[in-house]
Structure 1
Amino acid sequence: MQHNISDLIALFANTFETRYQTILVKGDDEPIYLPADEHHPMHRIVFAHGYFASALHEIAHWCIAGPARRLLEDFGYWYCPDGRSAVEQKAFEQVEVKPQALEWAFSVACGKRFNLSADNLSGEATDDSEFRVSVEKQVQYYLHHGFSERAEHFIAALCQFYGQPYPLREQQFNFQKVDVVSV
């Protein structure tokens, strides 16, 4: 199945641009969320290097952010770049559980393989098993209790576009085959 970034940009625009004045933008560098300002009338979700997974991940952060956070650059989140200590990595993983769980759901809705990202290529080595279990539990929670409104709308749009079964079901997730990658 072809996963073209221009399709994802158009799908996001068709689903959210008018209602939320938000667009998805292919970036050249690190991802960032930029709220509208005097030079840009639209909020911008900028994803890294044209990577499909980066776009899904940044959309997941946007789906979690409430109205006040969507007025702040990068939603006002704390971020410590690659090269984190074990303590910093654990703090990073705690705030990444929900976005990575949503990214996983978006990936399934696209019929695309999901890789859990530790995002700490040059940092201190840590045991990622607790992080993996936390993300798995969060996905199961969403499947049983529901996704947020924006996440659910995007999942429905992705499933329709990519011909995947909707609504998502636990059987579509392979909890034994989640790889944790450093980037």
Structure 2
Amino acid sequence: MPAGVMIWAVAAPLAAFMVYRRVRRNFGRQPLRSGRLAVRSMFLVIVAGLLLMAGFAGGGSSMAGWGVLAGLAAGGILGMAGLRMTQFETVQGGHWYTPHPGIGLALTALMLGRLAYRFFAVRATAAAVAASDASVLANLQRSPLTLSIAGLLIGYYLAYNVGLLRMARHDALNVVGVKPE
């Protein structure tokens, strides 16, 4: 089996599983687990830092770094708004939250749409450009719009997870009848 086919055979199901898990977390009641939220938050901080470094790696000539910053800021604001629309409850001794499905669905659709567009745009351009100038293909990978959407997603989930973590650890859940762990 050729290496290209093998990569697709592994990457496509893995990507589909990751998208399924992301979409599943946008709907219905979810358990409020402080440990998982803390690990996710730390992971997102690391990814945000790496994304910022990658965005500003080209120096001041590229808008990619500013796109990442704008996306992180907008995502943080959207995450706080999503947290306000989240419902919290205690059922059978467990703490649960129900995220607003519209925000998660819109962000997932935005991400998938941009990834599909970038896949087809880069794929069509790659064959024509690779023979003449490889640096053009490298610049296509640092699109400010793509990086701002990535920053939006990371900023949203970072702000949302940190907000959930704060709710789980403080007395804020007592307001809605949920006691923190």
TM over 0.5: no
Give the TM-score normalised by the residue count of structure 2.
Answer: 0.26
Decide which structure has the larger Cα Rg and report it: 2
